[in-house]
Amino acid sequence: MNSIYRIVVALLCVGLMACGDSSAPAGEAKAKVNFRQLPEDPQLAALYQRSCIACHGTGAPAIPQTGDVAAWQPRAAKGMDALLDNVINGVGGMPPLGMCMDCEPEQFEALIEFMAAGTLSK
Ligand code: HEC
């Protein structure tokens, strides 16, 4: 009996750790979005700071902010191809090329992946 109890407790702990790892409870998620983060790659970070950050890293409402999982989930569901297309051609208030005139498609993809905070399935 005692050992079964221990197994249940151990499983609960694993479950809790798995949740804590990926996202905070829904209510807290929004307040905790760190939209000021930068890509690790210095070249990518430079491009990001020169263009995307003005809109996606300032907390502006109605713009999916970098790292805001809830905002990116429905967009990520469209798939990378559709997102890349919208970045290149512009969509809504998003200017064509996100104001990065010399970004390569691969760099846009890397920037999108960074901003979308793991919501894009590979
Ligand atoms: C002038 C402000 C501005 C800049 C600069 C900007 N964006 Fe955006 N972006 C927006 C807005 C506004 C939206 C929401 C558009 C909509 O869905 O109506 C958006 C949406 C997006 C989306 C989601 C598109 C979709 O299909 O849902 C992606 C991806 C994106 N931006 C990437 C980037 C990248 C990468 C950069 C930098 C290279 C960038 N943006 C620069 C304003 C901007």
Are the beta carbons of 39 and 102 closer than 8 angstroms? no
Co-location of 11 and 42 in the same domain: no
Structural domains in the chain (count): 2
pTM: 0.81
> Which ligand 1 atom sits closest to the C-alpha of 100?
38
Q: Are residues 26 and 46 in the same domain?
A: no
Q: Is the distance from CB of 56 to CB of 66 less than 8 angstroms?
A: yes
Ligand 1 centroid, distance to 94 Cα (angstroms): 4
Check whether residue 47 and residue 94 sit in a common domain: yes
Condensed to tens digits (0 to 9), the pLDDT of residues 102-113 reads 999 999 999 999
Cβ–Cβ under 8 Å, residues 83 and 110: no
- How far out from the chain centre does Cα 26 lie? 15
Output the ligand 1 site: residues, CB below 6 A.
Answer: 51-52, 54-56, 63-64, 75, 78, 83, 86-87, 91-95, 98-100, 103, 108, 111-112
Per-residue pLDDT tens digits for 39-68: 999 999 999 999 999 999 999 989 999 999
The contacts of residue 69 (CB under 8 Å, 6+ apart) are 23, 29, 33, 117, 118, 119
Going from the Cα of 24 to the center of ligand 1, the distance in angstroms, rounded, reads 25
